[in-house]
């Protein structure tokens, strides 16, 4: 694809664009100057259906001039705005520039409000009604696509209201998640556990940890397999490790589903989850407000 960033392609695109517009004008001129001799009837295009024939009449004047106006408008637009290859337009407009201008205007309008909250402790901000409203709007803009507008999450996307945290629910941990993102990896363990029966035994032991219906004999055998392949991340008691992002298997909260089939799929195929970093497009004030909002909806920041 590096071949397509050469300066020659910009010139090529510009020429094709201009030639296409001129060709439209010439073609329109040719079709709008047809003249008939006195008394002569226009011919047909040869298309006929149910005794209806398509005549080769000149274009209506209003339509023709509207088309000419469109062509002229296109040339004016391409002179003023980007569109001819790498030509940036006489006005120098760009979507990036407009976005930055809007950001500056927003910062001038809302900056003092955000700065006021930035000086406060996260716990205090989480308890402030005005801050919660601002945080909710930020959440709907930047987080709702994955976690839902109600922050209830969905399969593969954590519920932020239940107080269950893979990486910890302290203000510092929540902020770190927003700023740097997270990469959660559960390696596939099907081969390490052995046969499909060994996998199933392990699944039933995991079900027993969460207090779900399980086969006691299988769970007893699966405990041995668990101690071999799973204990390093999830711990001997199955309560996980927030430093690694390893889930607590005893709380019956399942990111990818808690059925036997879902757990089997997780063990055999593994899981890969990513929370993108937001530090490149959120300033410190927005991060502070989002941290407080997430803390508040989980119930930890309310007074």
Return the exposure string of 204-217: e unless at least 16 CB atoms fall within 10 Å of the residue's CB, then b. bbbbbbbeeebbee
Domains, the chain, ordered by start: 2-80 (no CATH), 101-181+276-297 (1.10.760.10), 185-275 (1.10.760.10)
Cα dist. 146→101, 143, 150, 157 in Å? Answer: 28, 6, 11, 6
28, 64 Cβ separation under 8 angstroms: yes
pTM given for the model = 0.71
pLDDT score recorded for residue 2: 53
Cα dist. 266→92, 97, 226 in Å? Answer: 52, 45, 14
Structure tokens at 177: 């998640």
Structure tokens at 98: 């407009």
**Dihedrals φ, ψ of 232, to 5°?**
-60, -35
Q: At what angle do helices 284-297 and 129-142 cross, to 10 degrees?
A: 100
Which DSSP symbol is given to 230? T
Structure tokens at 6: 């050469």
CA–CA separation, 174 vs 295, rounded Å?
8
Return all residues near 219 (Cβ < 8 A) that are at least 6 apart. Answer: 201, 204, 205, 207, 208
The one-digit pLDDT tens for each residue of the chain (303 residues) are 455 566 788 888 899 999 999 999 998 888 777 666 666 666 777 777 877 887 777 777 888 899 999 999 999 999 999 988 888 899 989 999 998 999 899 888 888 999 999 999 999 999 999 999 999 999 999 999 999 999 999 999 999 998 899 999 999 999 999 999 999 999 999 999 989 999 999 999 999 999 999 999 999 999 999 999 999 999 999 999 999 999 999 998 999 999 999 999 999 999 999 999 999 989 999 999 999 999 999 876 544
89-129: pLDDT as tens digits:
999 899 999 989 998 998 888 889 999 999 999 999 999 99
């Amino acid at each position: 694809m590096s071949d397509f960033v050469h300066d020659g392609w910009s010139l090529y695109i510009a020429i094709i664009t201009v030639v296409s517009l001129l060709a439209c004008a010439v073609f329109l001129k040719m079709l709008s100057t047809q003249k008939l001799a006195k008394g002569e009837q226009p011919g047909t295009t040869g298309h006929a259906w149910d005794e209806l024939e398509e005549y080769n009449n000149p274009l209506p004047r209003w339509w023709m001039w509207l088309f000419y106006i469109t062509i002229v408008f296109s040339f004016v637009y391409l002179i003023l705005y980007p569109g001819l290859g790498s030509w940036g337009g006489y006005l120098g407009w760009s979507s990036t520039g407009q976005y930055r201008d809007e950001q500056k205007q927003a910062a001038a309008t809302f900056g003092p409000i955000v700065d006021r909250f930035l000086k406060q402790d996260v716990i205090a901000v989480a308890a402030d009604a005005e801050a919660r409203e601002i945080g909710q709007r930020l959440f709907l803009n930047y987080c709702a696509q994955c976690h839902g507008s109600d922050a209830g999450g969905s399969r593969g996307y954590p519920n932020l209201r239940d107080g269950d945290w893979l990486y910890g629910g302290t203000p510092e941990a929540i902020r770190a998640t927003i700023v740097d993102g997270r990469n959660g990896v559960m390696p596939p363990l099907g081969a390490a556990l052995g046969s499909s029966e060994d996998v199933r035994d392990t699944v039933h032991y995991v079900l027993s940890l969460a207090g779900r219906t399980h086969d006691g004999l299988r769970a007893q055998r699966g405990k041995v397999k668990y101690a071999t392949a799973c204990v390093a991340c999830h711990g001997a008691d199955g309560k996980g490790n927030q430093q690694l992002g390893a889930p607590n298997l005893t709380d019956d909260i399942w990111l990818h589903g808690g059925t036997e089939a879902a757990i089997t799929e997780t063990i055999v195929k593994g899981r890969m989850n990513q929370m993108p970093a937001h530090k490149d497009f959120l300033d410190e004030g927005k991060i502070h407000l989002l941290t407080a909002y997430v803390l508040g909806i989980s119930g930890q920041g309310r007074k």
